[in-house]
Amino acid sequence: MFPALAGARLAGRGGDWGQADRAAAAAVELGRRGAGRVELAAALLTAAATVRTAPPPIGAGAPDGIAAAAALRTVGQAWRRTVTLLSLASWCADQSSTGCRSGRV
Q: What is the dihedral of CA 56, 18, 27, 80, to 10 degrees?
A: 40
- CB 11, CB 53: distance < 8 Å: no
Residues 58, 6: Cα–Cα separation, whole Å: 27
Q: Give the tens place of pLDDT for each residue, 36-94.
A: 888 888 888 888 888 877 776 555 454 555 555 666 666 667 667 777 777 777 777 67
Residues 48, 5: Cα–Cα separation, whole Å: 12
| Stated pTM of the model | 0.53
Q: Give the tens place of pLDDT for each residue, 12-49.
A: 888 888 888 889 889 888 888 888 888 888 888 888 88
